[in-house]
Amino acid sequence: EVRSLAIDESQQGKGLGGEIVLALVALAREQGFKQVCALTLRENFFIRLGFDLVDRWSISPKVW
């Protein structure tokens, strides 16, 4: 579980956050996870990385 992700302002816009998220998704898949979700206020960031926008209540309460 990753509780938060932040990139220093001076390094934003360089793709570092996306690289980190995609690496973590790949690691989760290698470990057998079939689904990864993000509870976020930065919806567009995750959509650009291939995440789908879903209703929060469609996700198991165990996640949040």
pLDDT at residue number 58: 84
Quick check: is 15 in a domain?
yes
Which pLDDT tens digit goes with each residue over 7-18? 999 999 999 999
Quick check: is 16 in a domain?
yes
User: Containing domain of residue 54, as a range?
Assistant: 9-58
Quick check: is 4 in a domain?
no
Domain count, the chain: 1
Characterize 28-46 residue by residue with b for buried, 16 or more Cβ atoms within 10 angstroms of its Cβ, and e for exposed.
eeeeeeeeeeeeeeeeeeb
| H and E: helices and strands count for the chain | 2, 0
Quick check: is 54 in a domain?
yes
Which pLDDT tens digit goes with each residue over 23-64? 999 999 999 999 899 989 999 999 999 999 998 888 877 765
Quick check: is 34 in a domain?
yes
Quick check: is 2 in a domain?
no
Quick check: is 46 in a domain?
yes
Quick check: is 36 in a domain?
yes
